[in-house]
A and B are shown apart, each in its own frame.
Chain A
Amino acid sequence: MTGNDWPLWEVFVRSRRGLSHSHAGSLHAPDATMALRQARDLYTRRSEGVSIWVVPSSQVTASSPDEKDSFFEPAADKPYRHPTFYEIPEGVRHL
C-alpha cells in the first residue's frame, strides 16, 4: 500500500437556492478541513453561496434494501455493500 491511505468522505451539497443537502459523491482527503476544501473545488466549482457537508464514509450508517414489513434494520453497515473487492473473475475480457 502506498502512502495514499486518505480516507473516503461523502459529500453533501445544498445549492444556493436548494432546500436541503443532497449527496454529490465522494472524495479522498486526509482530514475534514481538506475534505471541505476539496469538496468545494470539485463539486461546486461553478457556483457560490453553497453549503457543503463532508462526512467520513465510515461514519455513515445505511439502511438495508432488504427491509421486511415495517422493520427498518439499520445493519450498522457502510453505504456501500462491499467494503473491498479484489478479484476480477477469470474470463472477463476487456478491449
Chain B
Amino acid sequence: MTTAPAVGNATDTADSGTGTGTGTGIDPRLAAFDAAVAADSRIEPRDWMPDAYRATLIRQMAQHAHSEIIGMQPEANWITRAPSLRRKAILMAKVQDEAGHGLYLYSATETLGAARDELLDKLHTGRQRYSSIFNYPTLTWADVGAIGWLVDGAAITNQVPLCRCSYGPYARAMVRICKEESFHQRQGYELLLALSRGTPAQHAMAQDAVDRWWWPSLMMFGPPDDESGHSAQSMAWKIKRHSNDELRQRFVDICVPQAEILGLTLPDPALRWNEERGSHDYGPIDWTEFQEVLRGNGPCNEQRITQRRRAHEEGEWVREAATAYAAKHEGVRK
C-alpha cells in the first residue's frame, strides 16, 4: 500500500538526457540510453545512465520505500483492537505486506548503489520524505477501511503505470507489489461496506472516516500539473508515465460509483458528472494544507518519524549482536 510521492524532479544538468541529439558532441552512451527509453526497453543496473536519472530514481524509489514503512504505522495502530479475529488477521497480513513492499523497494534502490543504511538515515533526518498521506491519524476502526479503499486505491492508480517504468528493478518491484496489493484495497472496501450496512453508529463511523480521508487522498497525486513543471523530465525518462491531474481524475472517476455502492457520500458539494468531458468535475483542493503537511506541520509528522527513529535506535543492539555472532562463526554453517 502506498504511492510514490508525486514526482516532479529532475535536474537541468548537461547529461539530463532529454535526447534531442542534434549533431556533434552527443555522448553515444547517452544516445543509446535515450533510444532504449524511447523504445520502452528496460534500463538495468549495469547499464550506463545519466547521473541525474540515477539520482531522481534513487530519491523516488527510496521515498516510495519509506512510504511503505511509515504507512505501516497508522494501520498497525488498530491491530491490537481489531473488532473480530478475521479482521485482525487481515490487518496483520496487510501491515506485514507493507513491510515486505518496503523491503522490495529498498532492495531495488540498492541496485543503484544507495545502501539501505544511508536511505534510512536520510528518512530519520528528514532529508528524504514519505507520502504525506501517512501524516494523518487513524482515529477510528473505519479509518482502516478508508485507508484501504482510498489511500490504497490512489496508490494503485499511481503504481500500475510504474510497472512499465523505464528502470527494470523498479518496474519488477512494482509488478510484485501490485499483485499483492489488489487484495488490500478490496479488504478496505469490504470493511467499509460492512460498517455502512451495519448499525447506525457503524454507518456514522464509516462516513466520518471518508469525510476525513477523501481530500488528503486526492492530494496524494501531488500538485496540479501547471504547478509541477519539473515533471517533464521524469515523463521523458519514463519514470513517471502520467501527469498528476490525469491520475487524480482517473481516481475520482473510479471512486464515485464505488462510493454510491458503499452508501456513503464524498465530502465535495462540487462533485458532479460532466457529460462533455466524460469525467467528474470536483471541487478545489486546499493546497495550503498540503504544503503545511509537507513542511512538517501535519497531525502526525512528528509521531511517525519519532516512532521510526526509536525502533531503529532501540534495535541497534539486536543488529549488532547478529553481526557479532556472524563474525565469530564465519564459515561455519548451521
Task: List the interface of chain A (C-beta within 8 A of B).
Answer: 1-6, 8, 25-28, 30-34, 42, 45, 62, 64-65, 77, 79-95
Contact = CB atoms under 8 A, between A and B. Distances in A.
A3 B317 contact: yes
Interface in B84-132: 96, 100, 103-104, 107-108, 110-118, 120-121, 128-129
B107 A89 contact: no
A92 B56 contact: yes
A2 to B, nearest CB: 6
A40 B227 CA distance: 44
B173 A25 contact: yes
Interface stretch (B43-51, B200-208, B277-285): B43-51
Contacts of A3: 316-317, 319-320, 323
Tell me if A's interface is mostly helix, strand, loop or mixed: loop
A90 B333 CA distance: 47
A79 to B, nearest CB: 6
B322 A30 contact: yes
Contacts of B120: 4
A10 B334 CA distance: 20
B134 to A, nearest CB: 14
B54 interface: yes
A62 B107 contact: no
Nearest 5 A/B pairs, CB to CB: A82-B113, A3-B320, A30-B322, A85-B113, A31-B326
B9 to A, nearest CB: 5
Contacts of A65: 44, 46-47
Contacts of A87: 55
B6 interface: yes
A13 to B, nearest CB: 11
A85 B114 contact: yes
Interface string B301-334: 0000000000010001101101101100110011
A33 B333 contact: yes
Given A2-B312, A3-B317, A25-B108, 9 more contacts: A4-B120, A8-B110, A25-B173, A79-B45, A82-B112, A83-B113, A87-B55, A91-B11, A92-B9
A94 B47 contact: no
A3 to B, nearest CB: 4
Interface residues of B, number: 59
A92 B113 contact: no
19 contacts: A2-B121, A2-B316, A3-B317, A4-B120, A25-B107, A26-B110, A31-B325, A31-B326, A31-B330, A32-B333, A42-B104, A79-B46, A79-B111, A83-B113, A84-B113, A85-B112, A89-B13, A89-B52, A91-B12
B319 A62 contact: no
A86 B113 CA distance: 9
B294 interface: yes
B45 A33 contact: no
B227 to A, nearest CB: 11
A77 B121 CA distance: 27
B117 A1 contact: yes
Contacts of A94: 5, 7, 9, 59, 63, 128-129
Contact of A95 (B6, B54, B113, B330): B6
Nearest to A45: B100
Contacts of B188: none
Contacts of A30: 319, 322-323, 325-326
Contact of A62 (B5, B46, B129): B46
Interface string B73-90: 000000000000000000
